[in-house]
Structure 1
Amino acid sequence: MERAQRAAALAARHENLAATTDNDTLRSFHAAIAATHRRIEERHTVTATLHQTYADRLALCDKADQSSRSCAIPSFMASVATALGSTGAAVTLVGETPEASVFATSDTTAGAAQDLEYTYGEGPGRDAVRFGLTMAGHGQALCRRWPNYGPAIAELGVRSVAATPLLVVDRPIGALTVFDSSTEAPTELSGLERLADALADTLLMDSAIPESMVLYGQVDVRPTVHQAVGMVAEQNGCGASDALALIRAHAFSTDMPVTAVAEDVVARRVRLG
């Protein structure tokens, strides 16, 4: 919380200066600086709360191990889901295209939902990145908005989703998505957006955090998919986007995850094209 406290002190200082000056230009200047530090304070407060929640989960797991009860290492994204009052959560980071992505999820259902979005090339996370806006849907609206993805996640028991972009200097670098089994409207969206802002600024883009420890190292880079795309592209003399489309088409027609098809391609159990 030390960073949040420093930002709060700076904000209070500029708020006081804005309130006591008779100069309109200086008042606007100090008010703007104060608002910036209040945003920074909120980001660090949210981040500190997430870290503490995750630390508490690790401590409980450690106690279970010491008492001879096995305990799987908890997912950091499960703490994110808890903070948002959702049953599951996922973060996706993208490169120049949504296909060049890494992701982290809270549980197997969230992971399966992310695989479906990757397989079908549609869904809330992709749209959040594409349009730079928060996307949400629940119940039958999921199927109307995403005709392939919607019915597929319903089979996982997911009835409500919301995704918001992770923004760095107003440029989407990924998305934070939450999943719920309730058919009610998605989680309170302003809270989702505030948490995404904190993740983008203080966890994902903090140069003090080694790359290997971003999100506590709990990320999947889909290396097999990238390798399979290269092999299919070479075999068919096509570009990477067309190669990925072939892999997706095969996954769709065989009702397999994209990652499973990629493994078959790399193992040369299947040839596409």
Structure 2
Amino acid sequence: MGFYVIAHRVNDATKLRRALQAGANALEIDITRKADRYKAWHGSEIIDWNSANLEPHLDAVARAISRPANSNVSLLILDLKYNQNAKIEARHINEIRQIVTDHVLTPINGPNPRPDRGLFALYTVSRPYRRIFDDAMAIEGLSDHEGVNLDAVSYSRTDRMSPRSALRWRDRSRAVPLRNFMYSAGISATSHSRQAKRDLQEAQRIGAAGGDDQMSTYAWTFNRANNASHWVRDYALDGIMGNMARNFRHLAGDPGYYGLETRLHTREMTPPFQRPF
């Protein structure tokens, strides 16, 4: 089984080039809505609004990862950034999903891909969007190459998404079945590393019990490959998200150097987050 080196905030051409040069096999792209357009934007970046439109950015991603040198890119993490002014509804979620399918998934996977191979797209759904995303899935079911990532971080202590809570959401979701599912935890202004470690330890214990409660997990966001590799080993992670510093090229190219008995996931492998049905 392989693991993912996920490039953080690949929202423009420069970040895309750096991620691919560093050997990342997964890309995180932030998505928001502004003035009836969808943007590849985190919310804190200074950008040219005319160049941040989602469709041309995804076209550029598809062109880049279609090249043989970048054919190891097998996962997109699409982070739906909460914006109370965006007034996101279920139909907007499905419009975003269709854009991703048309501009990246179909160009890379082709019209009739194997359900357990190829490029996959997981949507990171924050607490304000969970019900809306569930409504969207009820209207238009997820394809074989779409899925959900639920993150532990939320906006207050009481809103924290534990691994058990994530599994309950998964099993109550209106996507039947929710086949591709991941859980993530990390360090931010509202979530210190101790809490992230507890979340990932719990997910590891749940997974060790086997059965349908096994969880695929990744952690974020790292600046140093050595630190990231410790988390992969300690919590049996399927991926780490990093700011693509030079040392991540070494992690992606030679995981064994960091003591990892694994290799990067490719499009020819069944993803670790896919549940068998």
TM-score scaled to structure 1, two decimals?
Answer: 0.22
Q: Which structure: larger Rg?
A: 1
Structure with higher RCO (Cα < 8 A, 6+ apart): 2
The structure in which a higher percent of residues are helix is 1
TM-score scaled to structure 2, two decimals?
Answer: 0.22
